[in-house]
């Protein structure tokens, strides 16, 4: 019997490194256009909108539109992300948090395929993501070159 919760929109909050690991697992293979990444320094917020893989139904590859943001962000540094190419699609591999000595501050690293990354300097881990709409069948399965 199908799990009715599998079709419910996902809403997650991360307030520490352990929460961020859970968020990272749910957003692995999330795809986002460079144009859909926004650093809002006055609000101390980094926001994004893209498509995540919904793995809650065994044997089905599905995607959902998702929006999210990190709060209390004081700086964003990019490597391998070309803002002059807004249609470039980035594929998220993982999110990790490294605390400063004066924890809870530190850096959140968003690692993308193709050697791209974003490093967010944060006062603390404070992130939210939420599905925006219905699920749809994905056209292809994510694949990663494990030799690099």
pLDDT class of 143 with cuts at 50, 70, 90: low
Q: How many angstroms separate the CA atoms of 55 and 11, rounded?
A: 15
Predicted pLDDT at 148 = 46
Tokens of 105: 């501050």
Enter the pTM of the model.
0.88
For residue 54, pLDDT over 90 is answered with no
Question: What would the mean pLDDT of 109-120 be, rounded to a whole number?
Answer: 97
Q: ∠ CA(51), CA(43), CA(32), 5° rounding?
A: 15
For residue 101, pLDDT over 70 is answered with yes
Q: Tell which residue, 84, 40, 64, 82, has the closest CA to residue 132.
A: 64
For residue 19, pLDDT over 60 is answered with yes
Predicted pLDDT at 4 = 58
Secondary structure (3-state) at 71: strand
Predicted pLDDT at 103 = 77
Q: Tell which residue, 96, 114, 121, 100, has the closest CA to residue 46.
A: 121
For residue 140, pLDDT over 80 is answered with no
Question: What would the mean pLDDT of 122-132 be, rounded to a whole number?
Answer: 96
């Amino acid at each position: 019997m199908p799990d009715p919760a599998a079709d419910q929109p996902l809403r997650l909050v991360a307030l520490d490194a352990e929460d961020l690991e859970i968020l990272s697992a749910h957003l692995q293979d999330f795809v986002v256009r460079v144009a859909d990444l926004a650093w809002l320094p006055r609000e101390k917020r980094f926001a994004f909108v893209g498509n995540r893989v919904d793995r809650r139904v065994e044997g089905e590859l599905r995607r959902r539109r998702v929006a999210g943001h990190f709060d209390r962000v004081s700086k964003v540094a990019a490597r391998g992300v070309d803002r002059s190419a807004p249609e470039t699609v980035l594929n998220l591999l993982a999110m990790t948090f490294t605390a400063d000595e004066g924890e809870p501050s530190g850096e959140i690293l968003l690692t993308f395929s193709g050697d791209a990354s974003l490093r967010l300097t944060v006062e603390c881990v404070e992130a939210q993501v939420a599905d925006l709409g219905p699920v749809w069948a994905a056209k292809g399965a994510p694949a990663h070159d494990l030799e690099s």
